[in-house]
A and B are shown apart, each in its own frame.
Chain A
Amino acid sequence: MMDIQTASSGILVPASAYDYAALAEIYNDTRVDYIVPMPMNAARMKEYVRAYDIALDASFIVLDDGGEPVGIGMLGIRDDRAWITRLGVLPSQRGRRLGQALMDAMREAAWERGCRSIQLEVIEGNDPARHLFISNGFVDIRDLLVVRRPPRTGQTSPLLDITSKMTPIAPDDIAEILASRTDCPSWLDESPSLLQWGQLRGYEATTADGERTWVVYHAGTLQLTHFAFGPYIKASIARTLMFAVHTEHPRSDTKIENVPANSPYWPIMQSLGYIPTFTRQEMVLHR
């Protein structure tokens, strides 16, 4: 096991030295007092690592003097971009600059692997984390919303577009459609994330004028998640696309993380029963 002695009292080891159950346990322990705790089990941690291209050899666990894990930070890497996630330190160990040690190690790992930027999201209200990121040179990009829609939410009398042709997207065409994206999704909803989640479905709308747009999403057993949208044409078309999705999955709960707060699709979602849960700030550091 490779050890990296940090400037603080903690010892950093690559997260690849731990199995998914241990990583989930460490992560959960660091989040017991989090604003919105979202614990994970081993299976969810494994999915997370795979779907979001987490490089476990560039992610770190910080140990106390007795060798017990007291913090975690994970790094996703796609081409020349990196993404910091799951960063946390046990409540009893905060104030020892262990978060900074994890940041230093992940930044160094990102630059060593040729990355030109590192991005992350921080939940609104987590002032200590935000302060840490700002002090490390990260700057705000935009606000992102985590939104939910319970199943069977009323969607009566929506103003639907009846002049456009609405068709399901064939599964084999979804990768090609995603390749045509022109939006700027967060890491969670980038096309590699969606493709790695799999179980993708979608609808395409073609207007009388020949304009095309679409929605693609992950249809899990219990939840619809990870939505990607084509170009925004007008509200009635966006509403019709989303209406089609929820008509097809009336019993599914829906959770969409990181909808840009200024997305033209957000008011449409609200009109179909979506509610905001909390806000994250997306931040970036360029090399």
Chain B
Amino acid sequence: MARIVLIEDNALNARLAERILVRAGHTVETLTDGEQGYNWVLDNPPDIVLLDLGLPDIDGQTVAALIRQHPHLYHLPMVAFTAWPEAMAAEIAEAYGCDGVINKPIDARRFAQQVEGYLPLRQL
């Protein structure tokens, strides 16, 4: 099962996502702003990062850019987790090196599978 970092400032969204992923057997660390999130990922590289694009300090795109520029994190699976309009989110996520987008609000029945779809096979 996977170690997942969720960088999400909205407590309701974070709680729901965390509950679903834990129930699916994963461990989840939730960080509520960009700086904390990036530092955590740097110190404890997870199997995947779910990254809200709108964060209260450093925005999600800049966090994505930091992760992608770090030599140890360059290949880390990273998925934008956002309520932005889908087309806009997809374009921005791709430009900033995300592997994909999961749109909010989430579909609770599909969410764990969506996340697992971005994991390397050995984590499943």
A168 at the interface (CB under 8 A from B): no
CA of A151 to CA of B68, assembled, Å: 10
Cβ contact of A148, chosen from B57, B69, B84, B95, cutoff 8 A = B95
- The reply to whether B56 and A41 contact each other, CB–CB distance below 8 Å, is yes
Q: How near does chain A come to B8, taking the closest CB pair, in angstroms?
A: 11
CA of A277 to CA of B91, assembled, Å: 9
Cβ contact of B61, chosen from A24, A28, A43, A148, cutoff 8 A = A148
- The reply to whether A41 and B33 contact each other, CB–CB distance below 8 Å, is yes
- The reply to whether A277 and B92 contact each other, CB–CB distance below 8 Å, is yes
A interface, size bucket: 20 to 34
Cβ contact of B57, chosen from A35, A37, A44, A153, cutoff 8 A = A44
Contact sample, A vs B, 24 pairs, CB 8 Å cutoff: A24-B56, A35-B84, A36-B85, A37-B54, A38-B54, A39-B54, A39-B55, A41-B33, A43-B57, A44-B56, A44-B57, A150-B61, A150-B97, A151-B65, A151-B69, A152-B69, A222-B62, A222-B66, A223-B62, A253-B61, A253-B62, A253-B65, A275-B91, A275-B92
B116 at the interface (CB under 8 A from A): no
CA of A252 to CA of B76, assembled, Å: 20
B88 at the interface (CB under 8 A from A): yes
Residues of B within 8 A of A33 (CB): 83
Question: From B12, which residue of chain A is reached at the shortest CB distance?
Answer: A32
Q: Mark A136-155, 1 if CB is under 8 A from B, else 0.
A: 00000000000010111100
Known: A35-B85, A222-B62. A150 touches B95 (CB 8 A): yes
Residues of A within 8 A of B97 (CB): 150
Cβ contact of A36, chosen from B10, B57, B65, B84, cutoff 8 A = B84
CA of A153 to CA of B96, assembled, Å: 10
Which residues 34-58 of A sit at the B interface, judged by CB distance below 8 A? 35-41, 43-44
Q: How near does chain B come to A15, taking the closest CB pair, in angstroms?
A: 18
Known: A39-B9, A148-B95, A253-B65. A277 touches B54 (CB 8 A): no
Residues of B within 8 A of A266 (CB): none
Report which residue of B54, B56, B83, B88 has the largest number of chain A beta carbons within 10 angstroms of its beta carbon: B56
- The reply to whether B95 and A36 contact each other, CB–CB distance below 8 Å, is no
Q: How near does chain A come to B105, taking the closest CB pair, in angstroms?
A: 10
